[in-house]
Every structure is written in C-alpha cells, then in structure tokens.
Structure 1
C-alpha cells in the first residue's frame, strides 16, 4: 500500500507549481482529481509539445484524473461542491482573493467539509504589499536575490523551475503534516506556502551572510564564495567540476596534479588564502586540465579522492548508468497509444513501490466517472 492510498485530493491548480505539488501526492498514492476549465490547463499549451499536450504538462500531471467544469454554471458549481464534500485535501494556486470571489476559499469550503485540509500556494504569500500579485519562477528568482548571484557577468536565471518545484515540495510536506495532525485532532486545517517564501528560503545562506557582513555576494559563476578551488574547469574535450572544501582535499588535488609546491605556497596554504587568490589558482589549474581529456582527469582525480564530476549535457544524463540504475526516468503508457516518459520523485520506500505507472489524463477524461457525463461534449 502506498503512503497516501485512500486520500482524495481535489486539484484546482494550473501551470507548474501547483500541479507539481499534486503530482507528488499522486505518486505517493493519493487519488488526485484535476479540475480544469473547459479549455484546459494552460500548461497543456506549453512548448515543446508531444501528442498535442505540453511535455511539462504530461510529466507533472501523470496519475491524475481530469474533469472539466465551468465555474459560471450553477450545475458545475454544484458538481464542485459535491467533490469538495468527498475530498480529504483541496489545493489551489489562485492569486490571493480569487478563491474568495469564486466562493471556494478556506472559510467557505470548511463549512462544507470541516475536516478538509486546504492548501493555498500563492505567489507572494498571505501578507505584504504584493500579496495579491501574480508570480512566476523567473520573477521570483529576481525578487528574492537569486538572479543577482547567478551566472558570471550578465543577469541570468537558473534554467530549471527551482522555485515552482520547491514551492510544490513545501506544499506537499505541509499537506502530509496536516494529514498526520488531523489524525490527532480530527480537524481540518489551512496550509499555505508561496513562491516568494521559497525563494527567500533557498537564498538563506546568502541573505544571512549579507545581513551579518553588510556586503552583497559577488557573482561567481560555478565557483563558491566560501571555498577554493571550487568550480568548473575546461578540459581538452569538455569541462569538469572540482569541489575542494578543506585543506586535506586540496592536498589530494595537488598530489594528483603533481603540484606539491602549492601545499606550502603562501598564496594557497589555507582555504582563506585560496579564496583570496581564487582567480590565480583557477587559472593555474585550468592550464593543466586543458591539456587532458575529461575521462582521464576524472579517473585520476577520483582515484586520488578528489570530488569531481563531468559537466554533463542532458543527453549525457539520459544515458548515464547512475541515472539508469536508479530508474529515475520511467516509461509510461500514453492514452493515445504512444509511449511517454516521466522523471520519478526522488523517494523510495522499502515496503512499497511508488514508481509512476499512469500517464497524464486527456482533458475531461474522467467526467463520466466522476460527474456522470461524457468528456467529449465538454471540449467541443
């Protein structure tokens, strides 16, 4: 039995953060009912597409059921209230105030289902001057300082949805915690998180450093402000990442590179000195790495106990034995008779298998099952 088997989740979310949250719950065994407008979640239209739907949508909406509702119709509002009565969890990611206008804010729905766990995943949180503003991952990278420390020179965003998906993780953790709390109190609760709060939390080390020193962190590319050498180095056929966080590891690096003199060199003798002289040290290391192929360097450094990795492309990761043997990318059936793939959540349990097995639903695919009507008519 999966951890959340028997839990029914009503998913009112769209785009990335909310659907990722409910994807986690679905993978953990919950029955997730995705409520979509008649034209569908906007993520269905995101590029690149596969078999008519966006790849992002197909990944983060796997194992869910889809129903279509028109919230302007009394009959559909009645259908939604019926679903709320049967749900254990309700998740929405509307702009603050929208759920209240629709009559499905926490205060309204708990009158229908007092034991309901209600999760609100907003952009900026429940308080503050921007609490009603919309938000997106890149906007929050800018708002929370992450963009100011990303890259080397020009402003850059982290090109994965770390804030959207991070918020999803916090929301899922909050919901699971609320379920455990409900077992003790027999009461529902409101759980809230936001993109902004997640971004501030991810930036915690840098924010606290700035608060204590009064200095903004510099942009270091692949390097680290606290350690050196710690960064990516070009090789004869690519690049490798080396991470040296203490003197012992630096000594091992010097042994492998046959630069024993660096160990006693006043410029590099301590981590503090190495950080001060990072650029010079990195240049000297790269003069060596540029003459060797990545594979040979990695073998030598690993044998010497130095933390190292190839800077891999997405194509590299797809064929990496480490990824394959951990079964991180799994094949799913597709409703249109085409194969589909998904990245599983990074959790395993000794007593159950939570590998996803069902694809994302077609728009309104489960209307007949859950609402007693044919989904085809709803999407004409």
Structure 2
C-alpha cells in the first residue's frame, strides 16, 4: 500500500495520535536510526525516509520473501519513502527544503559525513533554527574513536556485555540479534523527544549525540559502580545470575525448556518448597540472594531434577499454583499462538502493496488516551518521490507568485 505524501490513512485516527503534527526526516540507514524514527512514526509523527537512489542497505539485509526485504517492512513502517542523492546540488536543495519544515532530523552517518556534503548541523539549523538534529554513531561525535566505523556488534563487544555473557568456561557471547542498535534507537527516540520538549521552552533546536556504545553501557546496571567500589568484574555464569538463585533454564521430560527466576526471598522459598526441600529455607545461607548463589549447584540440581521428571505443562501449572515465577522457552510460533499475547495483540497484520499483508510486532507500549498504531508497512524504494517533487514545485510556484 502506497500512502501519498501529505495524506494520512484514517485522518481522524491520525489526528488524535500524540505526535500528530511532528515532522521527522529520517536520513539514517540500517537499524538504530531507522528504529528511532519508526517509534516516532508509530505514534503519529509524519516521517519522510530519505534514501540514496541505490536504496538503504537494509533493503538488501536479512530475510526476504519474493524478493521483498522483510526487516525493511518493519523498521520503516508508517514512513513515506523518497530518494535523493545528497551529493547532487539539485537534490541537496530539495533536501534542505524538506528540512526547512521539519522538527527532527535523524542521521547515523560516520561523523563528518554530512559536513563533507555541505549539510552539517550548522547548515541545517541555519535553514531551520528550531530543528532537532539527532546523530547516532558507534562512538559519538567526538573522542579518540569518533571516526571509527562501528555497529551494534562493536558496541556489544566494547561495552562489557559480551564479556559477561556466555558459559563460565566458554567464549564471550554476542547477542543473536542487533541488541545494541535497538537500545541506541530507543535512546535516540527519547533524546529527540526530550529535545523537542526543551524547544517548547527555549524556541531553539539542538543536537542530540547518541553513541551506541554508551547506550549499551548505560543498560548494564551497576557494573562500573561495582568495579569502582570493590574492583569486582562481572563474570560469565551462563543462564545463571550473580545476584540470586534459582535462576536458570531447565529441560522438561518432554524435551521442552522452561526458565525459572527467584529474585525475591519469598519466591525462592516457594520454589524450593515446591521441589521438595522446604528444610533449606531454614538454612542461614538461604536468607540472601548472595548466599543462595554460593549454593547454586545444589539449588540447580534440585530444581532441575524436579523439572526433568515432568512435562512442561505440568511444570508450569505447578509453579503457577505455588505462585512462583516460571516461563516456557518460546520460539516464534509459540509467541504467536500464546493466548495472552494474542489478547494483547502483540502482533498485528497490516496491508502492503507488495506482499498483500504483513504480520509484524505491534507498537511496543500502550498509551491509554493516545495510542500508537501500525498504519502501513515499509514502502518500496522511492514510492513517494514524485509526490515530494510535485509538492516542492508547487511550493516554489506559490512563493514566486506572491
């Protein structure tokens, strides 16, 4: 489905969305920047995705169906796609004309790239002093590593995340999905909204500098504080925890898996009672998470042995009766079949001109009065370029006639 520039699908709904009237130019590529713009688009911002005529590399990344890139459909949903070559003078002028009316610009080129094209923040904000320029890079806009190339994987490695992930005797473990980019995208969306809120008081835009490395470092809790105070480094404990036990994944009799976590003392007591060892509750070491961690092998043996004798449904039912936290280890089809996720509409099917319909994850959080909405999937390359050019031509004609 192609949504014309300047038109909205279901105007009455869009007008009530919380970011209705906010205009965003998304000139970023791949994951982190486009995800930030997607989140804003989900809540009604009018996002114009600007691509080079060869297309965002994301169009050639990951799984496709009938030649149509599926990740593109998700990350660029609710956006309007135009192609401009920002190295060409004519397209540069068109780009600046779009920026002139925008509230936010999101980019994730290596530092200095926009400046080399004559489109640095100084130029953009001269055209539009109220513009928020959100810049997403691996290491930030300054510092010794600013010019290095980098993506989420680099941030996951250098943040300390990989070193604390994996089995104790195994290699450091990287996430199997772009976690660092997703965290940076969330930070970039939040930074953009904070800057817009500040603009309401100052009347001025500003530059938001988002580093993927710093987004991941910030999400890792107190590891820096722990090292500073006690020289304690995180260690790899597999699926376990350094803060509490039991916390692990356990295999059931039918070959499926469940995850168990007991961060609270009362929950740990209920779990150990359920598996037949209520006497351990009275042990002094059982009274704290750190104490239970010292006896992790004993606890895991008891919990794991009890679970191994039962099918998953029996395990889950028993834990629920005991008011203890357990969850089945789901694959994607399990997520789609789960009655809770279905009731919450975690996945939504949207119309698409290339694939007919596309099923994808829904807006990731809910607002009671002004909810977000997935209105259409990521459009084909340049789907709205002609309409953009027509609009700019009409605006020039109106200006010259006054």
The TM-score range, normalised by the shorter chain, is over 0.9
Partner residue in 2 for 1:277: 295
Count residues with an aligned counterpart.
373
**1:15 counterpart SS class:** coil
Q: Is the 8 A contact 2:138 2:152 kept in 1?
A: no
Please report the TM-score for the alignment, with normalisation by the length of structure 1. 0.94
Partner residue in 1 for 2:263: 245
Partner residue in 1 for 2:201: 184
In structure 2, C-alpha distance between the alignment counterparts of 1:285 and 1:348, rounded to whole Å = 36
Q: Spell out the pairing of 1:17-32 with structure 2 (5 A cutoff).
A: 17-32=32-47
- Structure 2 unaligned segments of length 5 or more: list them: 1-15, 392-402
**1:124 counterpart SS class:** coil
Q: Quick check: 1:331 aligned with 2:346?
A: no
In structure 1, C-alpha distance between the alignment counterparts of 2:350 and 2:331, rounded to whole Å = 24
Q: Is the 8 A contact 1:58 1:360 kept in 2?
A: yes
In structure 2, C-alpha distance between the alignment counterparts of 1:280 and 1:87, rounded to whole Å = 60
Q: Quick check: 1:306 aligned with 2:321?
A: no
In structure 1, C-alpha distance between the alignment counterparts of 2:128 and 2:183, rounded to whole Å = 29
Q: Quick check: 1:67 aligned with 2:82?
A: yes
Partner residue in 2 for 1:377: none
Q: Quick check: 1:174 aligned with 2:196?
A: no
Please report the TM-score for the alignment, with normalisation by the length of structure 2. 0.89
Q: Quick check: 1:84 aligned with 2:99?
A: yes
- Structure 1 unaligned segments of length 5 or more: list them: 374-380
Partner residue in 2 for 1:376: none
In structure 2, C-alpha distance between the alignment counterparts of 1:350 and 1:248, rounded to whole Å = 33
In structure 1, C-alpha distance between the alignment counterparts of 2:288 and 2:158, rounded to whole Å = 36
Partner residue in 2 for 1:346: 364
**2:383 counterpart SS class:** coil
Q: Per-residue displacement from partner, 1:58-92 (whole Å, max 9, x unpaired)?
A: 10001111111122322111111111112111111
In structure 1, C-alpha distance between the alignment counterparts of 2:287 and 2:211, rounded to whole Å = 44
Partner residue in 2 for 1:230: 247
In structure 2, C-alpha distance between the alignment counterparts of 1:72 and 1:244, rounded to whole Å = 56
Question: Aligned Cα RMSD in Å?
Answer: 1.6
Partner residue in 2 for 1:157: 174
Q: Is the 8 A contact 1:6 1:30 kept in 2?
A: yes
Q: Quick check: 1:364 aligned with 2:382?
A: yes
1:10 pairs, out of 8, 13, 25, with 25
